[in-house]
Amino acid sequence: MQRTVSLRFHAALATLALAATTATLVSMPEASAATGGVTGYATQNGGTTGGAGGQTVRATTGTAIHQALCGRASTSTPITIEVQGTINHANTKKVSGGSCDTADGVIELKKISNVTIVGVGSGAVFDQVGIHIRESKNIIIQNVTVRNVKKSGSPTSNGGDAIGMESNVRNVWVDHTTLEASGGESEGYDGLFDMKNNTQYVTLSYSVLRNSGRGGLVGSSESDRSNGFITYHHNRYENIDSRAPLLRGGIAHMYNNHYVRLNESGINSRAGARAKVDNNYFEDSKDVLGTFYTDEAGYWQVSGNVLDNVTWSKPGTENNPAGPDLKSTTTVSVPYSVSLDRADCVPAVVSRTAGANKGLQVSDGTC
């Protein structure tokens, strides 16, 4: 079989200039993000459309992003914010208004809905500034890089999470992003992609997560089991110590991901969680699937995965690796259709398509 890669382009990406601290109206009502490509659990519960149908503005600072949110008629007025340039602490300030609830030093999507943030032009880099989604719904984040967000040291942002979601969040699609750190907790970093306190119907697709102690979690503690319905597909996890992801309760579907150098553990299904793990490629890694660091078991259904130089630890009271003989311990059905790529094709496909500034390329299903 031969694999080709198709392209999803932004509609009408203007090359308009923007003043340094204000967001400029680009067009109305056409949205620029490729919202039609939403996949996985983010298609459920009414779907995820972000700012489709609303006005489009361009922003080159974090303050301008906040101004765009605060300038809407209401907290639910659809908007697409095209971001170009580097967002940092110096240019990310709190803005007040009836349609927003923002803060300094973090991109705050709080108590709002119907928003798309998409990188355009030469790219969007959130440098040491995290994206915080709280009590919000119908959010799309696409084609951005978020790097080196810290919870300790200086400067700090978003509790150390590159993208963090908490408190009754619904329907979020994060697509073609690059999320990276420069170490683990001892260096001041936390998770790259965290969900907690009743966050549901989320898809992470075609993204790169790398160089972090913690890839991400679903549920902040063994008792935080109100999260779930999460899809991870066509992502590259590289040089991650653990939490790729950590699941506490709920259902998650991982398919066609490429995992490289999971140094301590990978998909950690625990506290009653159920993981559907299909056609992934695990390479040069340890304990890529199981229940780890707890005696509260989780479960998994496995199919079609490739294990390439994967090692396994011995089972123990708080250590239940799924291998070396991978077998399902539960069954999981998903409410959406999936065309799986062959697992042996995943490294090449993900290399070409995943991450920011890849032209929103996606697999067309051939190999």
pLDDT at 237 (0 to 100): 98
Residue 243 catalytic?
Answer: yes
Q: Are 95 and 67 in contact (CB under 8 A)?
A: yes
DSSP for 131-190, please give it.
EEEES-EEEEEES-EEE--BSSSSS--GGG-SEEEESSEEEEEEES-EEEEEE-GGGTB-
**For residue 159, what are its two tokens?**
């509790």
Which residue among the candidates 243, 248, 270, 274 is catalytic per the annotation?
Answer: 243
With beta carbons less than 8 A apart as the criterion, state whether 29 and 57 touch.
no
> What pLDDT, on the 0 to 100 scale, is given for residue 29?
35
Walk along the chain (367 residues) in steps of 10 and give the mean pLDDT of each run: 36 34 46 60 98 98 98 98 98 97 98 98 97 98 98 97 98 98 97 98 98 98 96 98 98 98 98 98 98 97 98 95 97 96 97 96 87
Smallest Cα–Cα separation from 77: which of 120, 43, 28?
A: 28
CB 109 within 8 A of CB 142: no
Tokens of 1: 């079989």
CB 339 within 8 A of CB 349: no
In 267-343, the DSSP E strands lie at 267-270, 274-278, 281-286, 289-292, 299-303, 306-311, 319-321
The residues, any chain, with a CB within 8 Å of residue 348's CB and separated by 6 or more, are: 3
Question: In angstroms, rounded to a whole number, what is the distance separating the alpha carbons of residues 64 and 322?
Answer: 47
**Which domains, ranges and CATH numbers included, belong to the chain?**
5-361 (2.160.20.10)
Note the pTM of the prediction, 2 decimals.
Answer: 0.92
* pLDDT value at residue 3: 37
pLDDT for 72 equals 98
